[in-house]
Amino acid sequence: MKRRELMLAAFAAVLTATTALMPANDAAAQDKKWRIGFSQATTIEPWRAQFNKDIIAEAAKHPDVELIITDGEDKTEKQVADVENLIRQEVDALLISPKESAGLTGVVQQAIDAKIPVFVLDRNVETDQYTQFVGGDNKLIGRAAGEYAVEVLGGKGKAQGNVVEIWGGMGTQPAHDRHDGFHEFTDKEPGIKNLLDQQSGDWKQDQAYNIMATALRNNEKIDLVYGHNDPMAYGAYLAAKDAGREKEIKFIGIDALPAEGVMWVNNGELTATFLYATPGAEGLRQAIKFLNGEKVEKTITLDTLMVTKDNAAQIMKDNGL
Amino acid sequence: MSLVRLVSRTKLYWGLIAIFLIGVLSSPVTSSGKNIFLSSGNLLDVLRQVSTTGLIATGMTAVILTAGIDLSVGSLMAICSVVCAMLLTVPGETPAVFLGLPSVSAASLLIGAVIVRFAFLNIEKVRAGKDSIRDIHLDSMRGLVLPAVAGILLCALVLSYLLPQVQTKFGVLGVLLVAPAVGLVFGAINGMIIVFGRLQPFIVTLAMMVTALGIARLTAGQNNAVLPVYTGSNATADFDILRQLVFGVVPMPGIFFIVAIILYGAVLRFTPFGRYVYAIGGNEEAARLSGINAGRVKIVTYAVSGLLAGLAAVLYVAQYRQGKPDAGAGLELDAIAAVVIGGTSLMGGRGGLAGTFCGVLIFGLLSNILQLHNINSNLQLVLKGLIIIGTVLVQERSTGDLFSRLWHSRHQPEVKGSAAEERSSPETVSLTMGGKKE
């Protein structure tokens, strides 16, 4: 008897503590004109965190918009539930950045059937009845990186060097696009030799470190490392640094987050990185445009930007670093 | 006979030797004809790479010897890596310290309070006359509860108030004390819930795995999912010592791993505590009846497991210059696999750290060989799985046994009704019957 009471009391204490920790919902938000729901796939990756930062910053510029952000926690079933929930809340527009295409197509269709305009961000779904797609083009970015690599290795037609490429996840489209774009340029150069056969660092700094440590052991001459994202390029840099060979190698990454890639380029650790812009700000702008009765294009492709020592400091300054 | 005993006593090492030979024979060579696999640099690379998994497998071995399991080590490592990265990051860039640490302390407090309630209520039951062996045993635990809770409180207080100062005042030593201490506290909580709550270790540590992941994320702050340790700040320069080579050859993380194996191995082998661990794994009730304080022993094994996860986290941060809430993700499975490959039984009571050391090295050498051969990442996973199965098969039965089984299944049907068949185990019988049908 006593035991049950105590357990109840403990349970109640936990509940109270949890509720107290949760941010209070702003009651003033009720009278805003547009309620826009945004279903994010996950927030645990830095790029996704930047994505959320961008969209929140953009929403702050529009006083007539209430933005509801949900976190799919990197699970398809959670994200589907999130979107169902937003549909039930009858949001005026739905922004979604799907974790994966197939699993989320159904629920996106459901939103379309419920007459909610849907803006698909970053990764696509398997239907074209949505209002708009906004995203970066990984192939385009890979091409920019490949063109730059050829340039630093000696220029078109004369490029020479051994290249280590560290893949992101092997099963993900971005990794394949970043690979294909890069090789459109480097494969034309007979002087460029690829040292590794599809080694995946799974987008992670620590795994890339270990791949690079072995590659350094296996190869006496490495000229350039191409990481499918900045943390992997940086992990490879750290491995080379620990082996005392970082000076002879050029490191190229992708993503250009202000607190990661751009900072590493600014420190002289990476040679260059290429912006994979988050569609957060642009997506929200487009949605508001559409809600206000303007026409929007079916697809918007975000451009990339090459970040080198020349512009890194300015970008960091612009982002308050 | 003595040869058979020698083979069966050393069968632990066959897998390791086999993998090593494969490595040597198949290794690519440098342009000057040097065997890359055998080069000291490469083997020491392997030692460095396995040290994180190795430390965790060390703690896991003792836990498994008590017939328990610790699924939370990966998440505990994540928390510790986040705490560690915070200590090393330049002040002013980690506002999350103020969000995360109080939440860690609050969680410890709450869990501590619940445990006290549970424990004392059970003691009251004993006084009321329901004195089964277990309840009397819990009564004897009373001495342990208050110090343990006091320890949790103390750690929580130390964490929330001293942490911001540690990074400037104590440097590397401070980090090496604080991060493992955090692991120790969480490990002890695991053990206490298992013992006082009389719950399955699987469930408790599974719950802790989830809880700890959440706390790690809270501590890191949602927008700081990864806490990079910036090169160039003073703290990280001091931290260099943890990734340097000792005497210019042996990587520091490897030293930590080997020392941990030797120390804990000695404790398990030569102290009463070690004998209790094996006794509990063999038969917990019998151990209890013979006067062993099983609960206390179990709590210590979980606490040490947490402590080693914390130590692994420090080395992880030093090596990769980052702390993050998914640092140890999946590591508990690698560690369990290494322990099992090393011959420790999941049922408890049988095995030891020498085996775990081999298991960890087998794992590491395997990855290294596949990587040296530049084998496609997806194919690496397949090959790893197959080779693990192969290694365990060779080690679990001695090779001779394996052959005799094959022999039996083919030829036994001929000797119908013989004495040999009557004496054979049920397993062999079923094999022979399978043979008959063919």
B32 interfacial to chain A (CB closer than 8 Å): no
Is the CB of residue A128 less than 8 Å away from at least one CB of chain B? no
Q: Does residue A59 contact residue A65 with C-beta atoms inside 8 Å? A: yes
CB-based contact A257:A280 (threshold 8 Å): no
How far apart CA B191 and CA B185 sit, in angstroms, is 10
A161-175, B161-175, B235-249, B259-273 — which is least confidently predicted? B161-175
**Which pLDDT score is estimated for B95?**
39
pLDDT tens digits for range A290-320: 999 999 999 999 999 999 999 999 999 988 8
Q: pLDDT tens across A50-72, in order?
A: 899 899 999 999 999 999 999 88
Helix orientation angle between B353-372 and B331-341, rounded to the nearest 10 degrees: 110
**What pLDDT was estimated at residue B356?**
93
- Mean pLDDT value across residues B60-75: 96
pLDDT of B9 above 80: no
Which residue type, as a one-letter code, is found at position B285?
A: E
Q: Is the pLDDT of residue B406 over 90?
A: no
> Above 50 in pLDDT, residue B436?
no
The pLDDT value given to residue B328 = 85
Query: B86 vs B51, which has greater pLDDT?
Result: B51
Determine, for residues B45 and A213 on separate chains, whether the beta-carbon distance falls below 8 Å. yes
Is the distance from CB of B62 to CB of B268 less than 8 angstroms?
yes
Distance from CA of B158 to the nearest CA of A (A): 22
Which pLDDT value is given to residue B304?
95
pLDDT at B96: 40
Q: What is the mean pLDDT of chain B?
A: 75
Locus of tokens 């022979």: B432
For residue B121, the chain A residues in CB contact (below 8 A) are: 2-3, 6
pTM of structure:
0.74
pLDDT score recorded for residue B325? 84
Query: What confidence tier does B398 reach under pLDDT thresholds 50, 70, 90?
Result: low
What pLDDT score does B120 carry? Answer: 54
The CA distance from A158 to the nearest CA of chain B, in Å, is: 25
Residue of chain A nearest B113, judged by CA positions = A10
Name residues 155-174 of chain A within 8 A of B (Cβ): 167, 170
The pLDDT tens digits of the residues spanning A218-259 come to 899 999 999 999 999 999 999 999 899 999 999 999 999 988
- Which structure tokens are listed for A98? 């799907």
How many C-alpha atoms does B77 have within 13 Å on its Cβ side? 31
pLDDT of B1 reads 46
Taking only the tens place, the pLDDT of each residue in B316-351 is 888 888 888 888 888 999 999 999 888 888 888 888
Please check whether residue B374 touches A, CB under 8 A: yes
Share above pLDDT 90 across residues of chain A, in percent, rounded to a whole number:
69
ipTM of the complex: 0.70
Q: What is the mean pLDDT of residues B78-97?
A: 67
Q: How far is CA B398 from CA B14, B65, B384, B392, B395, in A?
A: 9, 22, 21, 10, 6
pLDDT tens per residue across span A208-218? 999 999 999 88
B425 contacts: CB under 8 Å, gap ≥ 6: none
Average pLDDT over residues B26-54: 84
Interface test with B, best of A40, A204, A219, A246 (most B CBs within 10 A): A204
For residue range B261-311, list pLDDT tens digits in order: 999 999 999 999 999 999 999 999 999 998 889 999 999 999 999 999 999
Share of chain B above pLDDT 70, in %: 63
Whether B313 contacts B328, CB under 8 Å: yes
Distance CA A171, CA B381 (A): 13
Q: Which helix (H) or strand (E) holds A255?
A: strand A250-255
> Does residue B58 have a pLDDT over 70?
yes
Q: How far is B296 from chain A (nearest CA, A)?
A: 24
pLDDT value of residue B392: 74
Contacts of A265 (CB under 8 A, 6+ apart): A271, A272, A273, A307, A308, A309, A312
Smallest CA–CA distance, residue A113 to chain B, in Å, is 34
Higher pLDDT pick, B405 / B201: B201
Nearest to A239 by CA among A256, A218, A255, A260: A218
Determine the average pLDDT of the residues in B41-55: 90
**Closest by Cβ to A45, choosing from B39, B225, B228:** B225
Taking the C-alpha atoms of residue A148 and residue A9, their distance in angstroms, rounded to an integer, is 64
Q: Residue A28 pLDDT > 80, yes or no? A: no
